[in-house]
Amino acid sequence: MDIRTDSHPITRLEIVDTGRRRRWSESEKIRIVEESLSAPRLASATARRHGISNQLLFAWRKAYREGRLGDEPGFVPAQIVPDLPGTQLESGCPPVEIVSPTGWRVLVSRDCDEQALVRVVRILEGLR
């Protein structure tokens, strides 16, 4: 904090309210992104019209292209089930079952190669 070196007392203090942080629903983001992608509109003009920065609009457009915009994350129901006979994998540990919200299932051993599992999950998510 700066130290005042002059002896003049503060006579007026102004508090500027910059407003609260806006929250955009997924449907609003998609509508704005699709508007910015429609020809012959410019992204900067669309951003100005909706009162958002160009950087935010470009981040939304990137998420839209990658398929990350529109699917709000949520909780996935989990079930704990008893081990079934014959489900032991070669490592001797029971497998871990991964079930996606879209319905695919993967059984992996606990010592599975992490990079291989990531590739499999990305491929399955791309099949939506």
20-29, 33-42, 86-95, 116-125 — which is least confidently predicted? 86-95
pLDDT tops 90 at residue 115? no
Please tell me the predicted confidence (pLDDT) of residue 57. Answer: 93
Check residues 17 and 35 and name the one with the higher pLDDT. 35
Q: pLDDT tens for residues 54-108?
A: 999 999 999 888 888 865 555 556 667 676 665 555 556 677 788 776 677 888 8
Instruction: Please state the domain extents for the chain.
Output: 26-65, 80-128
**pTM > 0.95:** no
| Dihedral, 105, 110, 116, 122 alpha carbons, nearest 10 | 40
Q: What is the rounded average pLDDT for all residues in the chain? A: 76
The first and second tokens of residue 66, run together, are 């990658």
Q: Report the alpha-carbon distance of residue 78 to residue 101 in Å, rounded.
A: 11
